[in-house]
Amino acid sequence: NAGVTQTPKFRILKIGQSMTLQCTQDMNHNYMYWYRQDPGMGLKLIYYSVGAGITDKGEVPNGYNVSRSTTEDFPLRLELAAPSQTSVYFCASRTDYEQYFGPGTRLTVT
């Protein structure tokens, strides 16, 4: 079992560019999440999904978009990247009481 996989691992973007962070899970979990983590801090929820076709905003959704066309995939789209979006992005999926995290994508916007 691969669990939760994320690509890419690292990315540098110029201000104003766009990109999609990929997230895939093979555990057939309905719930999936995107978080961002700034240096030395906890995680902030960007978006979440409770199943294919259903998504909702978290604490910090501005500047991001998501879609959930399948149970397995939950991509996060950044439009018009800004320096404030420099962070480490984690995708997670969960059962009733356990969240499983991917290894993260380290994004720098310059």
Partner 1 sequence: TQLLEQSPQFLSIQEGENLTVYCNSSSVFSSLQWYRQEPGEGPVLLVTVVTGGEVKKLKRLTFQFGDARKDSSLHITAAQPGDTGLYLCAGREGTYKYIFGTGTRLKVLA
Instruction: Find tokens 């997670």 and name the residue.
Output: 92
- Stretch near partner 1 under the rule CB under 8 A, chosen from 18-26, 39-47, 63-71, 73-81: 39-47
Query: What is the pattern of x (binds partner 1, CB under 8 A) and - over residues 42-71?
Result: xxxx--x-x-----x-xx------------
Strand partners for 44: 36
Residue 98 burial (10 A CB sphere; 0-12, 13-18, 19+): exposed
Nearest approach, Cβ of 79 to partner 1 (angstroms)? 24
Nearest approach, Cβ of 51 to partner 1 (angstroms)? 11
Residue 101 burial (10 A CB sphere; 0-12, 13-18, 19+): middle
Q: Is 31 in the site for partner 1 (CB under 8 A)?
A: yes
Q: Is 39 in the site for partner 1 (CB under 8 A)?
A: no
